[in-house]
Amino acid sequence: MSPVAPPRLSLPELAQQLRVDAVRCAAAAGSGHPTSSMSAAELAAVLLAHHLRYGVARPDHPANDVFLLSKGHASPLLYAMLRAVGAISEEELLTFRQPGSRLEGHPTPRLPWVPVATGSLGQGLPIGVGLALTGASLDHLPYRVWVMCGDSELSEGSMWEAFAHAGHAGLDRLTAIIDVNRLGQRGPTRLEWDTGAYARRIGAFGWDVIEIDGHDIDEVDAAYRAAVEVTGAPTAILARTVKGRGAPAIEDRNGYHGKPVPHPDEVVAHLGGVRDLRVPLIPPDSDAVPYRFPTGEAELPTWQVGEKVATRDAFGDALAALGTVRGDLVVLDGEVSDSTRTGRFQEAHPERFFEFYIAEQQMVAAAVGMQVRGWRPYVATFAAFLTRAHDFVRMASISRADLRVAGSHAGVSIGPDGPSQMGLEDLAMFRALHGSTVLHPCDANQTAALVSATLDVPGISYLRTMRGATPVIYPPGEVFPLGGSRVLRASSEDRVTLVGTGVTVHEALAAADRLAADGIAARVIDLYSLKPVDAATLREAARQTVAVVTVEDHRPEGGLGDAVLDALAATGPVPRVHKLAVRDLPASADPAGQRRAAGIDADAIVAAAREVAAG
Amino acid sequence: MSPVAPPRLSLPELAQQLRVDAVRCAAAAGSGHPTSSMSAAELAAVLLAHHLRYGVARPDHPANDVFLLSKGHASPLLYAMLRAVGAISEEELLTFRQPGSRLEGHPTPRLPWVPVATGSLGQGLPIGVGLALTGASLDHLPYRVWVMCGDSELSEGSMWEAFAHAGHAGLDRLTAIIDVNRLGQRGPTRLEWDTGAYARRIGAFGWDVIEIDGHDIDEVDAAYRAAVEVTGAPTAILARTVKGRGAPAIEDRNGYHGKPVPHPDEVVAHLGGVRDLRVPLIPPDSDAVPYRFPTGEAELPTWQVGEKVATRDAFGDALAALGTVRGDLVVLDGEVSDSTRTGRFQEAHPERFFEFYIAEQQMVAAAVGMQVRGWRPYVATFAAFLTRAHDFVRMASISRADLRVAGSHAGVSIGPDGPSQMGLEDLAMFRALHGSTVLHPCDANQTAALVSATLDVPGISYLRTMRGATPVIYPPGEVFPLGGSRVLRASSEDRVTLVGTGVTVHEALAAADRLAADGIAARVIDLYSLKPVDAATLREAARQTVAVVTVEDHRPEGGLGDAVLDALAATGPVPRVHKLAVRDLPASADPAGQRRAAGIDADAIVAAAREVAAG
């Protein structure tokens, strides 16, 4: 694809070309971050010319090195790099930030050479850790992972989760290129050009560290060569650079973050004008084939109707069985595998189980990295603690990542541990993500079926599991389509509809029995799929009964009740809907006591149903 | 309050009493974390007897030292400590985890000696940083802040945000007591007993570090004395301890996390039985009076109707003015003060402005610490990046913290920066928090009024601001009650109701003009208060028009549309509601183009209104 390179590609010239193109595309857009791009021009030029192994024509090549721009706002640099390697044209470069352009304000995978979206700082390096783990432990291929970071983002705790994980795992294929340009958005960074302080910190986490002048081509080249040679440890290259380098009027000056360079034509002229250098990248090893784990046969576990089983147990057992059949399934834990039951997968498939200790951001980021290479990650922790990784799942949805997340210990039903451990906002968090699927099974067989179903769902899928045992109500082998529901009680006499999910399905069934004894027939719907939602079944119930009671072990906002109201409002007249949810702040109590106190137990449902049925 | 102590309080005996009480209360509860309590018994005993300055009878004393149990699951230790200092009785100790008890599974401020809820790991130390900053820079009082941490939680990135901030700020009043008991929930921690590795890491962040045997009373005492003497740096005491210490059958054994000790009576007997030692704490300086910043007079800024002003500008100007009147107002930034406009407060009140660089978790945690001592923090960053601190605001709501949060750069209307920078899930996130207030003003005068109103709101209040300018539509001086709304267009002919918030109020007004030209009278409601919601006004509109169109620059889940549906469903028959929201993944475009592409502009409203009005 690439034309033959000039015999001696001038790296200083290439660096100037990258600067010129960054200046030009931001000027054309009228916005963007050229100054944060210009500081890293030599770092980028040397990487492209001498070190990155990558087939531009085959961005999906399994042996390609990975390049991540953790400092995603420096997208003009990335787009300049893509022009220099022949991936995009001069014309496309100048579409930066225009409607319809693939060259978005911050990089996204609309461009095939961009594996993940960046732009929320502190995420590229943790995702790079996931890709380095993938190469070393899953793909078994020798590709390297190069992550270009800013200095400002070293303030994010997630970066230190990454340093801790990569240092301990000895991920020597990982190189963090840290562009220490001293200036953040609104002023100097905390440590400015004190690369020694960064080096001591990162070094203490088990990394090899190299301090260089980031504008000295030879120092940059030597640092990359050294990074490739280091074994047993990742490398951080701490490059002192100048923000806006190449535009003398604004070099190292505050107030020029995130805006086009003033007088761009003069700056381009000062930089030597527009160039058209083309860099032939070192190609990846063309014979490389990713490792595939052996698979075998296994049946999903089953339970008999009437058994009492926690859905977290069913989740763990199903995951272990699916791991036998699906060699691409990998599981990530945040130091709670005994609680979420992913420990059962670990026992069965230790090579595909990854422990991240209590670092939920790094855990989710690593999963995002793994799915880039086609692995199917399942991430699990307490539903409550997934809030810790909210920004990471948000960005994963922008990356169009295929990611499975399980949150255990749903709601007040966990009992005496108290509100800090209760997942009460998780449905709201996951439903609001673009393109997400949100599931909350109520029994063990349904859980196993849904775990299996999520393996092939695109986008972010969320499965909510429960700590305590619930009775098995579905026989083994039934099918639960995503976007479906189950009508558990129905008759032509139904006066009221009760909609539950998870534990509240059982409360609704108990309530229906008591209402029946009072002569009030109640339809009961198990709305196990919160997104997408089975609007047709809800609509039918709305036509056939006078009112709907929704009941959820979750806050009133963003969960089951809102999903039902939304579906009803979108499809026709809305009947009377009475929403039961956790409105107060729970304290310690046993599970049944918690549901009673929250007003989401059978008593509360009966009372609400009587009221609405009376019309 | 405390009886006179025995002439020589035996610290080993006190430590055993703490163990015995931890074992007893967990045994009575049938759950809890006694083993994680037993490892820290000497650390706690020495602190109480020799170092903590605290008036048990006056938990609100301004000069009290602060003790935070960052490892909140070790609540049995905390409750044993409270019994030892006479704060709670023997009887209350044994109510641990019972319904109605103040002694919850994880500590919460239901107990007056507990300043903040803990139990989501990695939060106590960052909150302690906030309290240490408060003492040094706001209260100007010499109290110390002691934070007892677990070793597992050192995996959380938020801890390293805290180490970075405290080290750089030289918070020498802060001591982290790290109980390195080697075992996490499901097995050994990453570094087990390698306190040297921890020491190198924490030391590299500018902390003084001391490694000790955490069961050696003299070493513990010497470490605390040394910590008090250090100036210019915080101190971390890395204490090697044994999980379950004092119960030989399970000491340092995996599998005994988070459950009562087996054979508790035998263990209590082995520990020497129940004791009734009482520790007289060193009292705080009784004359201490917190510093108060001088105040002056200032008017809220005003703008003339028709001016075009960004609500983020109004927010910054209002904040600066309010800072003059309210000496207790403090502002915290995550390195975006030029974008959120909190820089204007910084210029006016530099002593009450705190920069946290790009560390949103530490920023929110510090605010939680500051409000413990009665300061009124306003935290601000991009709405999108508040997702990074979701678990911190979640825990703040459990702490019943009074906290003001502003999120700028709402929605697709930011323009070309792309989805990573767009706050599109923030309303869902903040609405689902217990006891929250959620506001989204549409013009400058309304913004200033609402900023002022939030200063005295209990709980978490969230104010959403916009990047781009919108026309001023409200004259200066109008009042906007929380939970209110404004009807901007209304007549007896109204056929359809348009409900907007923020920028979509202006789109709704434009749509109403065009609909009027077509002979369709539309009511327009500015629903600036998303929680609580003005159900009465919505209900009236539902009675007087045939249908409602909601329009929001936010995802369809959890925002304005859901708030309207919820309010209507709760108060009577629900009319036809058509919800306009951001359903696809945006790319780069100008603000108007973004709203057009998302289907939330005047065109889309007109189309939806025509359809439902025809209904």
* Helix A503-517 vs helix A602-613: crossing angle, to nearest 10: 50
* Mutation site for B-interface testing, chosen from A201, A254, A462 by largest number of B Cβ within 10 Å: A201
Amino acid at B447: T
Q: Which residues of B touch A101 (CB under 8 A)?
A: 587-588
Can you list the positions of beta strands (E) in A34-119?
66-69
A42 counts as catalytic? no
Q: Closest CB to B574: pick one of A335, A555, A574.
A: A574
Restricting to B residues 517-556, those with a Cβ less than 8 Å away from any Cβ of A are 531, 555-556
* Mutation site for A-interface testing, chosen from B388, B412, B590 by largest number of A Cβ within 10 Å: B388
CA atoms of B303 and B357, how far apart (whole Å): 32
**CA-based nearest distance B189→chain A, Å:** 7
Rounded to 10 degrees, the C-alpha dihedral B99/B103/B109/B115 comes to -170
The token duo for B275 is 């004791």
Q: Is the ipTM of this structure higher than 0.95?
A: yes
Specify burial of residue A4 (Cβ count, 10 A radius: 0-12, 13-18, 19+).
Answer: exposed
Restricting to B residues 307-336, those with a Cβ less than 8 Å away from any Cβ of A are 333, 335-336
CA atoms of A36 and A58, how far apart (whole Å): 29
Q: pLDDT tens digits, residue range A377-416?
A: 999 999 999 999 999 999 999 999 999 999 999 999 999 9
For B507, how many CA atoms within 13 A lie in the half-sphere containing its CB? 32
Cα–Cα separations (whole angstroms), residue A244 to A18, A33, A263: 12, 10, 13
In chain A, % of residues over pLDDT 90: 96
Catalytic residue among A211, A360, A425, A552: A360
Dihedral sign for Cα atoms in the order A154, A115, A53, A378: positive
Residue of chain B whose Cα is closest to the Cα of A355: B190
Restricting to A residues 40-69, those with a Cβ less than 8 Å away from any Cβ of B are none
* Res. A1: pLDDT tops 90: no
By three-state DSSP, how is residue B379 classified? strand
Q: pLDDT tens digits, residue range B411-439?
A: 999 999 999 999 999 999 999 999 999 99
Q: How many residues does chain A have?
A: 615
By three-state DSSP, how is residue B551 classified? strand
Specify burial of residue B517 (Cβ count, 10 A radius: 0-12, 13-18, 19+).
Answer: exposed
CA atoms of B332 and B376, how far apart (whole Å): 11
Q: Closest CB to B394: pick one of A337, A398, A425.
A: A425
CA atoms of A137 and A351, how far apart (whole Å): 8
CB A132 within 8 A of CB A145: yes
Q: pLDDT tens digits, residue range A267-321?
A: 999 999 999 999 999 999 878 899 999 999 999 999 999 999 999 999 999 999 9
pLDDT at A3: 46
Q: What is the mean pLDDT of chain A?
A: 96
pLDDT at A162: 98
Element (H, E) at A237: strand A235-240
* Res. B591: pLDDT tops 60: yes
**CA-based nearest distance B397→chain A, Å:** 9
Task: Sort strands A522-526 and A486-489 into parallel, antiparallel or unpaired.
Answer: antiparallel
Radius of gyration of chain B (CA): 27
CB A80 within 8 A of CB A37: yes
Q: Give the residue ranges of DSSP H helices in A385-464.
A: 390-398, 426-431, 444-454
Average pLDDT over residues B190-216: 98
CB contact under 8 A, A105 and B417: yes
Catalytic residue among B360, B425, B507, B552: B360
In chain B, % of residues over pLDDT 70: 99
Q: pLDDT tens digits, residue range A34-61?
A: 999 999 999 999 999 999 999 999 999 9
pLDDT at A285: 87
By three-state DSSP, how is residue B402 classified? coil
Q: Which residues of A touch B566 (CB under 8 A)?
A: 556-557, 561-562, 565, 579
pTM: 0.98
Categorize the per-residue pLDDT at A7 as very low, low, confident or very high, splitting at 50, 70 and 90: low
CA atoms of A234 and A239, how far apart (whole Å): 16
CB contact under 8 A, B362 and A168: no
CB contact under 8 A, A155 and B168: no
pLDDT at B287: 84
* Res. B7: pLDDT tops 80: no
Residue of chain B whose Cα is closest to the Cα of A258: B417
Specify burial of residue A533 (Cβ count, 10 A radius: 0-12, 13-18, 19+).
Answer: buried
Q: pLDDT tens digits, residue range A166-198?
A: 999 999 999 999 999 999 999 999 999 999 999
> Which position has the token pair 């074994």?
A231
Average pLDDT over residues A329-354: 98
Dihedral sign for Cα atoms in the order A426, A432, A435, A439: positive
Categorize the per-residue pLDDT at B237 as very low, low, confident or very high, splitting at 50, 70 and 90: very high
Please list, in sequence order, all residues whose beta carbon lies within 8 angstroms of the beta carbon of residue A124, skipping any fewer than 6 positions away: A68, A69, A70, A71, A72, A116, A118, A147, A148, A149
Percent of chain B that is helix, strand, coil (3-state, to 5): 40, 15, 45
Average pLDDT over residues A230-258: 96
Specify burial of residue A57 (Cβ count, 10 A radius: 0-12, 13-18, 19+).
Answer: exposed
CB contact under 8 A, A585 and B339: no
Q: What is the mean pLDDT of chain B?
A: 96
* Res. B120: pLDDT tops 50: yes
CA atoms of B122 and B144, how far apart (whole Å): 20
* Res. A524: pLDDT tops 90: yes
Average pLDDT over residues B523-531: 98
Q: Which residues of A touch B338 (CB under 8 A)?
A: 185-186
Q: Closest CB to A566: pick one of B185, B419, B562.
A: B562
Restricting to A residues 398-457, those with a Cβ less than 8 Å away from any Cβ of B are 398, 400, 415-421, 424-425, 428-429, 431-435
Please list, in sequence order, all residues whose beta carbon lies within 8 angstroms of the beta carbon of residue B517, skipping any fewer than 6 positions away: none
Q: pLDDT tens digits, residue range B158-190?
A: 999 999 999 999 999 999 999 999 999 999 999
Categorize the per-residue pLDDT at B339 as very low, low, confident or very high, splitting at 50, 70 and 90: very high
By three-state DSSP, how is residue A259 classified? coil
Q: Which residues of A touch B538 (CB under 8 A)?
A: none
* Res. B223: pLDDT tops 70: yes
Can you list the positions of beta strands (E) in A249-328?
308-310
* Res. A505: pLDDT tops 90: yes
> Which position has the token pair 């499901």?
B186
CA atoms of A90 and A95, how far apart (whole Å): 9
Please list, in sequence order, all residues whose beta carbon lies within 8 angstroms of the beta carbon of residue B36, skipping any fewer than 6 positions away: B71, B73, B74, B77, B150, B179, B181, B243, B257, B258
CA atoms of A560 and A424, how far apart (whole Å): 12
Q: Which residues of B touch A203 (CB under 8 A)?
A: 204
User: Is B384 touching A (CB cutoff 8 A)?
Assistant: yes
CB contact under 8 A, A558 and B335: no
Categorize the per-residue pLDDT at A455 as very low, low, confident or very high, splitting at 50, 70 and 90: very high
Q: Closest CB to B156: pick one of A333, A359, A593.
A: A359
pLDDT at B335: 96
DSSP string, B127-175: HHHHHHHIIIIII-----EEEEEESGGGGSHHHHHHHHHHHHHT-TTEE
Q: Which residues of B touch A168 (CB under 8 A)?
A: 190-191
CB contact under 8 A, B168 and A185: no
> Which position has the token pair 């787009």?
A79
Residue of chain B whose Cα is closest to the Cα of A160: B157
Please list, in sequence order, all residues whose beta carbon lies within 8 angstroms of the beta carbon of residue A86, skipping any fewer than 6 positions away: A1, A2, A3, A56, A278
Average pLDDT over residues A110-117: 97
User: Is B561 touching A (CB cutoff 8 A)?
Assistant: yes
pLDDT at A8: 75
CB contact under 8 A, B189 and A357: yes
CB contact under 8 A, B433 and A420: no
* Res. B3: pLDDT tops 80: no
Chains A and B form CB pairs within 8 A to the count of 335
* Mutation site for B-interface testing, chosen from A198, A420, A554 by largest number of B Cβ within 10 Å: A420
Cis, bond preceding A532 (omega within 30 deg of 0): yes
* Res. A201: pLDDT tops 80: yes
Average pLDDT over residues B93-112: 95
Q: pLDDT tens digits, residue range B284-317?
A: 987 889 999 999 999 999 999 999 999 999 999 9
> Which position has the token pair 């922008």?
A398
Can you list the positions of beta strands (E) in A512-570?
522-526, 529-531, 547-551
CB B449 within 8 A of CB B537: no
Can you list the positions of beta strands (E) in B256-396?
308-310, 329-333, 353-355, 376-382
Average pLDDT over residues B26-32: 96
Cα–Cα separations (whole angstroms), residue B157 to A568, B84, B123, B153, B162: 42, 34, 10, 9, 9
Please list, in sequence order, all residues whose beta carbon lies within 8 angstroms of the beta carbon of residue A282, skipping any fewer than 6 positions away: A50, A51, A52, A53, A54
Q: Which residue has the higher pLDDT, B487 or A615?
A: B487
Rounded to 5 degrees, what angle do the CA atoms B27, B28, B33 make?
A: 45
CB A153 within 8 A of CB A70: yes
pLDDT at B2: 47
Restricting to B residues 97-126, those with a Cβ less than 8 Å away from any Cβ of A are 97-101, 103-106, 108, 110, 117-122
CB contact under 8 A, A597 and B99: yes
By three-state DSSP, how is residue B563 classified? helix
Element (H, E) at A75: helix A75-84
Q: Which residues of A touch B398 (CB under 8 A)?
A: 419-420, 585
**CA-based nearest distance B561→chain A, Å:** 8
CA atoms of B363 and B461, how far apart (whole Å): 16
CB contact under 8 A, A419 and B31: no
Q: What is the DSSP letter of A50?
A: I
Categorize the per-residue pLDDT at A424 as very low, low, confident or very high, splitting at 50, 70 and 90: very high
Element (H, E) at B589: none
Instruction: Of B585, B259, B421, B288, give the one whose Cα is nearest residue A459.
Output: B585
CB B551 within 8 A of CB B504: yes
